[in-house]
Amino acid sequence: MLSVIIPAYNEAHNIAKTLQDLARALEKIDRSHEVIVVSDGSTDRTVAVARRLKLKHVRIISYPKNRGKGYALTVGTNASKGRMVTFFDAGGDFDAAQIDKFIKLMEVFDAEVVIGSKRHPASRVDYPLNRQIGSRLYQLLIRLLFNLNIRDTQTGLKLFRRDVLIKILPRALVKRYAFDLELLVIAKHLGYHRFFEAPVDMNFNAISSSLTREAIIKALLDTAAIWYRLRLLPYYDQPHVLVAIPKD
C-alpha cells in the first residue's frame, strides 16, 4: 500500500482541488493507497471542505493547536499503513501524477528515499527569483554543514520506504522549519545512502507560501540546532519517541 500524508494549515482555498487532483492521479496507479490529511490546528474551513468531498480512501485527522509541518507529518505517518509513504503539499504546488513516477524510480533504483528536487535539470518549475536564490544559498550552507550531496532538501514531495521512515522519525526533534532537512540528515547518520533526486513539475502557489523573514530566521536556527545535535551530541544515535509510530 501507498500512504500519502498531506499536512494542512489553513488550506481551505486549496485543499478541495488538491484532493480531487490527487484522487484522480492515484486511481491510475495500480496499487492500493490511502490519503491522510492532517489539519495542523487550522482555524479556517480546511477540515470542513475536505470532509464535504467524501472521497474514497481519504481520512481526515485534526487537532486544535498548530504544531508545525513536522509534527503533522509524524502524526500522519503514525496513522498510516503503507509500505511506501509520500509527503504531499496541500497547496497544490505539484502535479499529483508525479507520485507514480516516484514509485517507479524507487523500485527501479532500489532507493530508500526519492526526493523531489526543484534544481534537477529535468524539473519544470515556475518559481519566483527570490525563492530560487534563497534555495540555492541554503543548499550551499547545508552541503558545508552536513556534507549532504542533495541539491534540494526542502521541496515538499518526497517518497520514503516505510521501514526507513519509522527508524528516522522517532529521532527527529525539529517539528517545524527544518524538518525535511533533519529527516535526511538522520537517514544519512543511520547509514542510509540510496537517495534519488527526481525532477518535479511545480507551479508556485503564493497563497500557500509562508516564507517570511521570521520563517527564514527560524529555519536557520533549526539548521544550526541540527548541526549541534549531530556533531556535538550523540542525540541521533537513539530514538526519542515524541509521537508513537506503530509497527507494521
For residues 111 and 172, what is the distance between their CA atoms, to the nearest angstrom? Answer: 21
pLDDT score of 204: 64
pLDDT for 134 equals 82
Per-10-residue mean pLDDT for the chain, 248 residues long? 96 96 91 95 97 95 91 90 94 85 94 92 80 85 93 87 92 88 96 93 59 85 96 92 50
pTM of the predicted model as reported, rounded to 2 decimal places? 0.86
What structural domains does the chain harbor?
Answer: 2-237 (3.90.550.10)
pLDDT at res. 236: 96
Instruction: Please tell me the predicted confidence (pLDDT) of residue 243.
Output: 58
CA angle 131, 219, 22 (to 5 degrees): 60
Task: For residue 138, give the 3-state DSSP assignment.
Answer: helix
Q: Which of 228, 242, 237, 143 is nearest to 190 (CA)?
A: 237
Pairing of strands 201-203, 124-126: parallel
Contact indicator for 61, 80 with CB cutoff of 8 Å: no
For residue range 162-212, list pLDDT tens digits in order: 999 999 998 999 888 899 999 999 999 999 999 999 998 877 654 445 567
pLDDT of residue 245: 45
Spatial separation of the C-alpha atoms in residues 48 and 23, rounded to whole Å: 18
- What is the model's pLDDT at position 248? 41
* pLDDT value for 206: 43
What pLDDT does 207 receive?
42
What pLDDT is attached to residue 246?
42
